[in-house]
């Protein structure tokens, strides 16, 4: 079947309790040069669902909700809910704390016009603490000026539309801003919904992409810029350990995969240090914040 000249793009974003981020994200999508879009917001158990639903209506986004009883975030499940409700020929997955330039979706579409059987992954940049993102123009140069690149693995080459480098490096795959042709993400059955909390679900998806004979294309244009926010590292790191253990049970061959072993060791060392620091402060009678 021949694809339409302007394929419909489904932009799927999971969300939890940051309506200010959601409004910024939806505004950035509204400024895209590519117009054949549907935007799907999946509310991951937010406490203010009626407000989020209203924001979605104001920005012509479709609203769905994950009301499972897990106390942890379930971004993987939320993304699958969005995928099941989508109609697009190309699926763009984005986190809600991401800003991109106006041509981001158009560029992803151009990549997929040249590709068969590949995921496209934008490089993530972290915006600096204290930046007023409402005062930053949505151009790549303006966003880049207040951000620093996050690079998980340097053992691959970046692609451009003129020079596409297909990769099987699944470890570097990050789903903060990525895209698939619909048939390709359906071929790997989307995200694994058993991942909860933070970490692992994107790497695991990248691994299954490669196992299914597909490639990953990493691009610096368009870049994706993550808004700085306070994070509960202890809670996140504990879920990282749980997710690493789950991933190794699912794929026993990864128990000896050195980057994964190193990640687990790094997180365990951080948690031990954090625990020791907390116990020392408690013994001195200091108040420890919640």
Question: In whole angstroms, what is the distance from residue 170 CA to residue 64 CA?
Answer: 30
More confident residue, 77 or 290: 77
* pLDDT value at residue 201: 94
- Cα 5 from chain centre: 28
DSSP 28-45: HHHT-S---EEEEEEEES
For residue 261, name the pLDDT band (cuts at 50, 70, 90).
Answer: very high
pLDDT in tens, 192-215: 999 988 889 999 999 999 999 999
Question: In whole angstroms, what is the distance from residue 274 CA to residue 52 CA?
Answer: 35
Question: In whole angstroms, what is the distance from residue 71 CA to residue 245 CA?
Answer: 19
More confident residue, 19 or 52: 52
* pLDDT value at residue 276: 66
Using alpha carbons, select from 115, 62, 122, 114 the residue that is nearest to residue 98. Answer: 122
Over residues 211-231, the mean pLDDT reads 90
* pLDDT value at residue 90: 98
Q: Rounded mean pLDDT of the chain?
A: 88
Residue 16, both tokens: 């939890």
pLDDT in tens, 34-88: 999 999 999 988 888 788 999 999 999 999 998 877 777 789 999 999 999 999 9
* CATH class of this structure's domain 9-230: alpha beta
DSSP the chain: -PPPSS--EEEEEEE-S-HHHHHHHHHHHHT-S---EEEEEEEES-S-HHHHHHHHHHTTEEEEEE--S-SS--HHHHHHHHHHH---SEEEEE-TTEEE-TTHHHHHHHHHHH-SSEEEEEEEEEEPTT--GGGS-SSHHHHHHTEEE--S--SS--B-SSS--EE--GGG--TTEEEEEHHHHHHTTSS-TT--SSSSHHHHHHHHHHHTT-EEEEEEEEEEEEPP----HHHHHHHHHHHHHHHHHH-GGGGG-HHHHHHHHHHHHHHHHHHHHHHHHHHTT-----
pLDDT in tens, 91-122: 999 999 999 989 999 999 999 999 999 999 99
């Amino acid at each position: 079947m021949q694809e339409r000249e302007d394929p419909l793009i489904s932009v799927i974003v999971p969300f939890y309790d940051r309506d200010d981020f959601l409004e910024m994200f939806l505004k950035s999508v509204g400024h895209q040069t590519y117009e054949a879009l549907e935007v799907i917001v999946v509310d991951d158990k937010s406490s203010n669902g009626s407000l989020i639903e209203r924001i979605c209506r104001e920005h012509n986004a479709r609203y769905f909700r994950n009301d499972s009883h897990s106390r942890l975030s379930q971004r993987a499940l939320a993304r699958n809910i969005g995928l099941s409700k989508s109609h697009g020929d190309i699926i763009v997955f984005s986190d809600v704390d991401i800003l991109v330039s106006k041509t981001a979706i158009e560029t992803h579409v151009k990549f997929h016009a040249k590709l068969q059987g590949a995921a496209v992954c934008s490089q993530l940049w972290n915006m600096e603490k204290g930046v007023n993102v409402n005062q930053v123009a949505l151009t790549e140069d303006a966003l880049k000026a207040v951000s620093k690149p996050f690079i998980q693995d340097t053992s691959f080459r970046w692609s451009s539309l003129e020079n596409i480098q297909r990769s099987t490096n699944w470890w570097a795959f990050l789903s903060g801003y990525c895209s698939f042709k619909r048939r390709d993400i359906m071929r790997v059955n989307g995200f694994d919904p058993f991942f909860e909390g933070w970490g692992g679900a994107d790497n695991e998806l990248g691994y299954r992409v490669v196992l299914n004979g597909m490639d990953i294309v990493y691009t610096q244009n368009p870049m994706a810029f993550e808004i700085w926010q306070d994070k509960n590292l202890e809670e996140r790191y504990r879920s990282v350990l749980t997710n690493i253990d789950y991933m190794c049970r699912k794929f026993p061959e990864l128990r000896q995969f050195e980057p994964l072993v190193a990640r687990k060791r790094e997180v365990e060392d951080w948690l031990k240090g954090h625990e020791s620091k907390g116990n020392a402060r408690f013994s001195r009678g200091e108040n420890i914040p919640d």
